[in-house]
Amino acid sequence: MMLGYLLARAGVQVTVLEKHRDFFRDFRGDTVHPSTLQVFSELGLLEDLLKLPHQRITSASGVFGGFEFTMADFSHLPVRCRFVALMPQWDFLNFLAGRARQLPGFRIEMEHEATDLLWNGARVAGVTVQTPSGTQTIEADLVIGCDGRHSTIRRCSGFEVIDTGVPIDVLWFRISRESTDPEQLLGRVNYGKALILINRGDYFQAGMIIRKNSFEQIKQAGLPAFRDSLVRIAPLLSDRVDELRDWDQIKLLSVQINHLRCWHRAGLLCIGDAAHAMSPAGGVGINVAIQDAIAAARILIPALLGNHPIDGVLARVQRRRQFPVRVIQQMQRQAHLALARVFDHPGPLAAPWQLKLFVRIPGVQRFMGRLIGIGLRPEHVRNLPGV
């Protein structure tokens, strides 16, 4: 959506295909980071974006066993918004789609699922699309595969996926929130489990991190046992765990980390999770995908507008974005390994000395705030055509 908006704003004809009827999905995270808010400021869209209901978090904290600590502080970042905005992703996407629809070159087709690639010899020349009124083909000078971690486009393109394996999955559910509950992002680790509570106003979006493929086992132990485990790790939920009455309220989100060896071929480029599926660790995947979109726009617009050969510039997008993505994925892997060790200790946990030492290093919270909030090699839209 972001790349479609930027291309159309520069005068490129774009069609965005979305397989669902709307954006009302609850599985993609809700964090709009300072780097993304900065880009919206550069685009002149920030004030209107921030009129949408959202919560602001200026720090991310944790409780490991009984040890409370702050992991990241966003309040000193050298950007306009020194906070992470927590905003339902459907609101964010609807906002961007609404702005994009005002641009003459932009078209969005909902309930249009790309099912295959069209080929002109060895070059990708468009897509086959399943629509409510049947199968269609759409030809294009360039196809961008940005269809997420289960990408059809990358599967059809024959790209090599390098998968490093992940030891965790996430159980994703809502539970009500009182006005007296903590406002900042809260991670809790204890009794062999880890729980993230994301403030969404009158409810928490909760993520229980579990050992990969262990959901069936958890279900067999029963919902009362699951509720008990929640209360043990987060006693503040004791008066509302009964809201969880059915396993249908709890969704299993399968976590992956992988990347394509090569993100492009003639006529095709993959970005976002389609090029490199991100884990929820650090809540950065949306913002990394947006950074990919900005880098791609900067590199593609001159070729697309100038009718220069497009295929020759595609490798530059991967070269620009590969390093920041790999570093963040490596950090996510380390976080997973640390979490996987927790699963082996079902009793009360004490924080490891390494964590206690790490959070006491002067300036570490600001450093982590910068890494999570802005990331490496941040992209800007200031010099993009049409901006």
Ligand X SMILES: Cc1cc2nc3c(=O)[nH]c(=O)nc-3n(C[C@H](O)[C@H](O)[C@H](O)COP(=O)(O)OP(=O)(O)OC[C@H]3O[C@@H](n4cnc5c(N)ncnc54)[C@H](O)[C@@H]3O)c2cc1C
Site for ligand X, rule CB under 6 A: 17-20, 28-31, 113-114, 146-148, 152, 170, 172, 253, 255, 272-274, 278, 280, 283-287, 289
Q: How far is the CB of 330 from ligand X (least distance, A)?
A: 16
Residues β-bridged to residue 63? 68, 188
Residue 161 or 305: the one with the smaller Cβ distance to ligand X is: 161
Cα dihedral 292, 204, 352, 344 sign: negative
Q: Give the C-alpha distances (Å, rounded to integers) separating 160 from 259, 288, 368.
A: 9, 21, 32
Residue 155 or 345: the one with the smaller Cβ distance to ligand X is: 155
For the chain, the first-to-last Cα distance in angstroms comes to 16
Residue 103 or 296: the one with the smaller Cβ distance to ligand X is: 296
Residue 86 or 125: the one with the smaller Cβ distance to ligand X is: 86
Q: How far is the CB of 192 from ligand X (least distance, A)?
A: 20
Residue 147 or 379: the one with the smaller Cβ distance to ligand X is: 147
Q: What's the CA gap between 293 and 300, in Å, rounded? A: 10
Q: What's the CA gap between 11 and 304, in Å, rounded? A: 9
Q: How far is the CB of 381 from ligand X (least distance, A)?
A: 17
Tell me, what DSSP letter sits at residue 159?
A: P
153 and 220 Cβ atoms separated by less than 8 Å: no
Q: How far is the CB of 348 from ligand X (least distance, A)?
A: 27
Q: What's the CA gap between 281 and 331, in Å, rounded? A: 9
Q: How far is the CB of 341 from ligand X (least distance, A)?
A: 20
Q: Give the C-alpha distances (Å, rounded to integers) separating 360 from 5, 68, 157, 170, 354.
A: 43, 12, 48, 29, 10
271 and 144 Cβ atoms separated by less than 8 Å: yes
Q: How far is the CB of 7 from ligand X (least distance, A)?
A: 15
* CA atoms within a 13 Å half-sphere pointing along the CA-CB vector of 12: 24
Residue 26 or 243: the one with the smaller Cβ distance to ligand X is: 26
Q: How far is the CB of 309 from ligand X (least distance, A)?
A: 26
Q: At what angle do helices 2-9 and 285-305 cross, to 10 degrees?
A: 30
Residue 351 or 369: the one with the smaller Cβ distance to ligand X is: 369
Residue 90 or 191: the one with the smaller Cβ distance to ligand X is: 90
Bridging pattern class, strands 84-86 and 55-57: antiparallel
Q: How far is the CB of 216 from ligand X (least distance, A)?
A: 18
